A and B are shown apart, each in its own frame.
Chain A
């Protein structure tokens, strides 16, 4: 009931509104911390979080138990006596059916596969994406379309022809061959990633560099590269986890002595001979998952950006 209608002149405040209206809502809206909505939201999220964390917990707990304790206890119980023996065994002694020197061999194989694959695939794809974004030539879009569509073709369709090509090149079964395969199959997503990123940079920057007389490589190294560190990190995360986690290419394209860690892990756990040592298996599983997990926890938001970029169309 504010009395402002009668005339246009200012109404002295104390006439109509004596100080503050004491009755009725005033000030900050009261908010209950434990509203029904909050209970539902946080309750659900916490239950879901537990579901996601459970396997990790069970993995770690099991890997720290001795076999007798596993046989009598339940898998959710925390270890009574912590032992690191399963870890040592998984790393250095576990048998894969062929030999018994544990996962360490697979780990180093994976390193020798991942490092060159990541570097080469990113180098090739970034230059390629740059050419596509800024130096379009006739037919480029056609090849690019084939490449991106090819990303959806099941690997199984192309595996055997690649075996033949690699055999002709004399690198079938070697690390070099596997690096080539990773470069090939990383190309669609990485090229898309870099093309979109470079195309998103202001085109005028590229034009300015051209007026300044810079050519293809000068613009790439002097202008584009320094501006693109985040996307290179994203690409690295994408590739390190992807290549480290690969199983199929490792099985198909390498000889047993070059098997990556995932293949070795599977051989250790799923080999039928002998007594199943669940604690060793879980230790081996954690060891194999450790590298991508570390990358994930360290890179955090960039990882999310990476997979989102990898997943969203161009």
Chain B
């Protein structure tokens, strides 16, 4: 509904609802100046040769050519692809299985939930440092397994360039699957009890009910979760900084770190802007189809 603040006279178009407009100034400034303006600004300056300070001298696609020629960027993108793909699959599968287990009317549900979710309260820095310690080859998991007699056992992802990204993946899953489980559990709880009763009367086995009936019904929850995980993946930064600092060498670099390093350390703003624009495009590829599916069709009122 449109509600207006006005006196008894003929209402002035601009003074209508004045308080609401004043209250919305921070939102309008943020949306227009920072989100919209800032994004456009960065994209525009990614076509310049800005170094220490932003300068408007355009060099066309130079920054992008250099970006895609840089081995560090290629590794970053490869890492992001592997890490992103695996963490999507694993979070969704693990999250859903855990939620399904939690939905079996179990005892101590709250305790289990508390345990699975607490890592989510911790920062990526804390998560990264803990797992750095656990995966320490000298003292951590590898040395323990070896001391149990399996002396050839080798698992030191943080010092092996080929598998370092899996080390980060383990930490990320530890931190984030609890949240996915909670979202999925909320989705499961939102399903009409009668569906279960009907499936039971029809004699459909439980796993079949999940696969054929429940999961299709939770399409919305899955898509939402997917978008949340995916947009988190693109932003991954703190975890890498804490766990490996991008090492060994440049084996665990990610795009967000590339951007930061070029903007604030290498003093090569143009590269940073170009890299961040690439991140923006990645996110757009995820978000736009989703937004189109979710909001594009029927224009329903929230």
Whether A and B touch directly in their complex, counting CB atoms under 8 A apart, is answered as: yes
A residues in contact (CB < 8 Å) with B: 37, 41-42, 44-45, 48-49, 51-56, 58-59, 62, 70-71, 74-76, 124, 127-128, 130-132, 134-137, 140, 143-144, 146-147, 149-150, 152-162, 164-165, 183-184, 187, 191, 196, 199, 203, 210, 215-217, 241, 244-248, 251-252, 262, 265-266, 269-270, 278, 281-282, 285, 288-289, 292-293, 295-297, 300, 303-304, 307-308, 311-314
Knowing A74-B143, A296-B118 touch, does A154 contact B178 (C-beta < 8 A)?
no
- Which residues in B have their C-beta under 8 angstroms from that of A37? 104
Q: Write 11 A-B pairs (CB below 8 A) sorted by A numbering.
A: A37-B104, A74-B147, A136-B20, A143-B28, A150-B36, A156-B276, A196-B302, A216-B20, A244-B123, A247-B123, A247-B124
- Complex Cα distance, B141 from A8, in Å, reads 77
Q: Is the interface of A mostly helix, strand, loop or mixed?
A: helix
- Which residues in A have their C-beta under 8 angstroms from that of B37? 161
Chain B 109-153, CB-CB to A under 8 Å as 1, else 0, gives 010111111111111111001111110100110011001000000
Q: Are B118 and A304 in contact (CB under 8 A)?
A: no
- Which residues in A have their C-beta under 8 angstroms from that of B38? 157-158, 160-162
- Complex Cα distance, B98 from A174, in Å, reads 44
Q: Are B17 and A135 in contact (CB under 8 A)?
A: yes
Q: Are A49 and B112 in contact (CB under 8 A)?
A: yes
Whole-angstrom distance from the CB of A301 to the nearest CB of chain B? 8
B residues in contact (CB < 8 Å) with A: 1-3, 5, 16-17, 19-21, 23-24, 26-28, 30-39, 41-42, 45, 54, 98, 101-102, 104, 106, 110, 112-126, 129-134, 136, 139-140, 143-144, 147, 174, 178-179, 182-183, 186, 224-225, 227-228, 231, 234-235, 237-238, 241-242, 245, 255-256, 259-260, 263-264, 269, 272-273, 275-277, 279-280, 283, 287, 291, 294, 302
Whole-angstrom distance from the CB of A194 to the nearest CB of chain B? 11
- Complex Cα distance, B275 from A266, in Å, reads 25
Knowing A152-B231, A156-B260, A160-B272 touch, does A49 contact B24 (C-beta < 8 A)?
no
Whole-angstrom distance from the CB of B108 to the nearest CB of chain A? 8
Q: Are A158 and B179 in contact (CB under 8 A)?
A: no
Q: Which of A44, A146, A265 contacts B35 (CB 8 A)?
A: A146
Whole-angstrom distance from the CB of A78 to the nearest CB of chain B? 14
Which residue of A41, A156, A161, A241 has the most chain B CB atoms within 10 A of its CB atom?
A156
- Which residues in A have their C-beta under 8 angstroms from that of B121? 241, 289, 292-293, 295-296, 303
Q: Is the interface of B mostly helix, strand, loop or mixed?
A: helix
- Which residues in B have their C-beta under 8 angstroms from that of A143? 24, 27-28, 31-32
- Which residues in A have their C-beta under 8 angstroms from that of B16? 137
Known: A157-B280, A196-B302. 14 other contacts (CB 8 A): A41-B101, A75-B134, A131-B20, A136-B3, A137-B2, A140-B20, A146-B32, A159-B263, A160-B41, A184-B30, A215-B5, A215-B19, A248-B260, A292-B123
- Which residues in A have their C-beta under 8 angstroms from that of B245? 270
Knowing A137-B16, A161-B34, A266-B125 touch, does A300 contact B130 (C-beta < 8 A)?
no
- Which residues in A have their C-beta under 8 angstroms from that of B276? 154, 156-157, 159
